[in-house]
Amino acid sequence: MIANQSTIAAMATTAASSLESTTYTSSSSHDALGRVLAAVSPDGSEVAYTYNERGALKTVDCKLQDLLYHYDPVGNITDIRDDAQQAVYFQNSIVEAANS
């Protein structure tokens, strides 16, 4: 038996519970399918969501981000682009805020 095993387990449980996070919203609106269309945080920041015809997340739009998601025919995310960010030039090439 390891010495102080119960103390170590208690410490791990306490640490794990303190890592949990909670998101608070002041208000939100939903569509007929229950998907979030818009959410307002307590600090007043707003986030808008749109969905494609298959029901998958299409865009997330807020002050600092404007994410656009692209999917393959099976429904896997193939590309994420942030239209809120400007293109940057590096070594005579355009570097866009995209993940593909």
**Digit-coded pLDDT (tens) for 10-68:** 555 555 555 566 667 688 899 999 999 999 988 888 999 999 888 999 998 888 778 88
What token pair was written down for 79?
A: 């590309």
Q: Rounded to whole angstroms, how far apart are CA atoms 71 and 59?
A: 12
CB 81 within 8 A of CB 66: no
**pLDDT for residue 4 is more than 50:** no
- pLDDT (0 to 100) of residue 37: 93
d(CA 7, CA 15) in angstroms, rounded, equals 12
The residue count of the chain comes to 100
Confidence grade of residue 1 (pLDDT, cut at 50, 70, 90)? very low
Could you state, in order of their start, the residue ranges of all structural domains in the chain?
A: 24-99
At residue 88, the pLDDT reads 83
| Residue 17 tokens, joined | 């519970």
As a whole number of angstroms, the distance between CA 23 and CA 42 comes to: 10
